A and B are shown apart, each in its own frame.
Chain A
């Protein structure tokens, strides 16, 4: 029996820019236990509901995360709209869906790049981000911002996308589809990538269920769980079924995200072909006075948005539970017994977003 040592991993680590700290109890080269700690990047955004009126708070909530910013804005709006009992015009719901799915493509391409960077495949990383740039340009053309959209508002959306522009988006996505297929083929077929990811950090279906894993982590372990099935936005009108894999290892998590990438492109195409004409927002009356919980399927998994109003212009409480928060127990479980060299891969494949988690 070897000597036990504790190795600190993060909050600053070459592999990942996210400030998560892990105390790794190791014996020889294998990890016996991992003790996670966060708290390096808390910004107190939830507290700002007391200072910003609820219609303006959406611009703050969007800044919870720089990658799934649209989803956070939508989640907040959904929660306050639920509180007010508002019905959103169908065109607004379709536009939200298109933007949200574009965010998913951008997020997954970003993650693929980070993963490639994590296992030292620099050119693969660069090519992932080059393709992602096309999506960022679409964001800027339609919403005005490359990262933060500021288009979602309580009661609808602030900007319309013309039908010609929507068709242009579909054409652009068709243009990058071939290149993306070529890129993702490297992740799925390349021998060195496969040997780095296959069989590493397997999470069984039972463990994923017990530890309440969400998003691609849960889906890679064979759990049919996706909030988009619950019928919000335009998803009930689209042909959608979640991407499921059963192996539960890093390769399966990578495969789920790659399949979702192409699925998002299909969903956007379908949404554009079905988008109805009409208003993009409704006028809201009164102030929120109840409690409401909204759920969203972010690129990283399920997120909760709780809002409590007291009839005034300011919400009494706002709470966000982000997917990374739910996936940390699953991460800790997979870290037990893994090789020290596999730790960065395991942390990366849950796609951690710590600034989201701490808000």
Chain B
């Protein structure tokens, strides 16, 4: 029966339950690693904006003045790039997908006010052990630092500094600290 090579397979599938799911009546099971959608923990977020700069599709917008973090769900490609670059690890790729919609929505999250923000004197500090090597300047994603080796001067622009901590990590003399 050369023409019925597939016969066995077809007979078997006749009596087996369907290989497909009756979605959405039967919900889909997500795997542990499924990249579904990005969730943000606004309490931990410092609004540094590195996720916005690194996002390949410009899906994320960080507004430091309005203290908001927003994501355009239709633009996001779930690459988890933001999750990887986030200095505070406040972004997580959750395994479930967002519900479908007929319009392109942007989810906006507001950062709660910090009670100690007005106290002042918080920010990046440099100790006397600084050798003015300039590595922190290269590492700063917001161009907030300036180092003048000749004049032995280290300066931080507090308006630009997001306190992401990249400079603290990179400092070879461990002179930098965020207070």
Give B30 Cβ to nearest chain A Cβ, in Å: 8
The answer to whether B56 touches A56 (Cβ under 8 A) is yes
B31 A127 Cβ-Cβ under 8 A: no
Contacts of B77 in A (CB 8 A): 59, 63, 148
Which of B2-10, B100-108, B112-120 is the interface stretch? B2-10
A186 adjacent to B56 (CB under 8 Å) = no
Q: Does A143 contact B (CB under 8 A)?
A: yes
Q: Which residue of B lies closest to A48 (CB)?
A: B56
Task: Find B33's partner among A60, A141, A183 (CB 8 Å cutoff).
Answer: A141
A75 CA to B136 CA in the complex, in Å? 33
> Given A127, A142, A159, which contacts B13 in the complex, CB threshold below 8 Å?
A127
Tell me, in angstroms, the Cα distance from A189 to B3 when the chains sit together. Answer: 9
Which of B2, B3, B8, B35 is the one whose CB lies under 8 Å from A144? B35
Contact B33 A185 (CB under 8 A): no
Binary flags per residue of A99-118, CB closer than 8 Å to B gives 1, else 0? 00000000000000000000
Verify A124–B56 contact, CB threshold 8 A. Answer: no
Cα separation A133 to B54 with both chains bound (whole Å): 33
Q: Which residues of B78-135 are within 8 A (CB) of A?
A: 78-81, 84, 93
Select which of A56, A179, A186 is within 8 A of B81 by beta carbon: A56
Q: For the complex, is A191 an interface residue (Cβ under 8 Å from B)?
A: yes
Does the CB pair A190–B5 fall under 8 Å?
A: yes
Interface residue? B19 (CB, 8 A): yes
The reply to whether the CB of B63 lies closer than 8 angstroms to some CB of chain A is: no
A1-12 to B contact mask, C-beta < 8 Å, 1/0: 000000000000
Cβ-neighbour of A150 out of B13, B19, B79 (below 8 A): B79
Q: A259 — which chain B residues lie within 8 A by C-beta?
A: none
Shortest beta-carbon distance, B86 to chain A, in Å? Answer: 14
**A window 54-112: CB within 8 A of B:** 56-57, 59-60, 63
If the complex has contacts A130-B19, A190-B2, A191-B2, are A53 and B9 also in contact, measured as CB distance less than 8 A? no
Check if B43 is an interface residue, CB within 8 A of chain A: no
Encode contact with A along B32-70: 1 for CB under 8 Å, 0 otherwise. 111100000000000000000010100000000000000
Interface residues on A, range: 20 to 34
Give bound CA distance, A142 to B35, whole Å. Answer: 11
Partner of A140, one of B3, B31, B56: B31
Q: Is the CB of A140 within 8 A of B79?
A: no
Complex-state Cα separation, A133 to B21, whole angstroms: 12
A159 and B56 CA atoms in complex are apart in Å by 20
A198 CB within 8 Å of chain B: no
Known contacts: A123-B10, A190-B3. The answer to whether A144 contacts B81 by CB under 8 A is: no
Q: Check if B33 sits within 8 Å of A143, measured CB to CB.
A: yes
| Complex alpha-carbon distance, A56 and B3, angstroms | 52
CB <8 Å contact, A182 and B31:
no
Smallest CB separation, A198 vs chain B (Å): 14
Question: Residue on B with the closest CB to A130?
Answer: B19
Of all chain A residues, the one with the shortest Cβ separation from B2 is A191
- The A181-232 residues at the B interface (CB cut-off 8 A) are 182-183, 185-186, 189-192
Does A236 reach chain B (CB closer than 8 Å)? no
Q: A335 vs B175: C-alpha distance in the bound complex, in angstroms?
A: 71
Assess the B34–A192 pair: CB atoms within 8 A.
Answer: no
Q: Distance in Å from the Cβ of A80 to the closest Cβ of chain B?
A: 15
CB of B10 within 8 A of CB of A59, answer no
Q: Is the CB of B19 within 8 A of A56?
A: no
- Smallest Cβ-Cβ distance to A146: which chain B residue: B34
- Within 8 Å CB of A137, what residues of B? 31
Residues of chain A with a CB closer than 8 A to B8's CB: 182
Binding site for A on B (CB under 8 A): 2-3, 5-6, 8-10, 13, 19, 31-35, 54, 56, 77-81, 84, 93
**Given known contacts A142-B33, A191-B2, what 7 new A-B pairs fall within 8 Å (CB)?**
A53-B54, A59-B56, A141-B33, A143-B33, A145-B34, A189-B2, A190-B2
23 contacts between A and B (CB under 8 A): A52-B56, A56-B54, A56-B81, A59-B56, A59-B77, A60-B56, A124-B6, A127-B6, A130-B19, A133-B19, A140-B31, A140-B33, A141-B33, A143-B33, A144-B35, A145-B34, A150-B35, A179-B9, A186-B6, A186-B9, A189-B5, A190-B2, A192-B3
List the 3 closest pairs (A to B, CB-CB), nearest first.
A59-B79, A144-B35, A144-B33
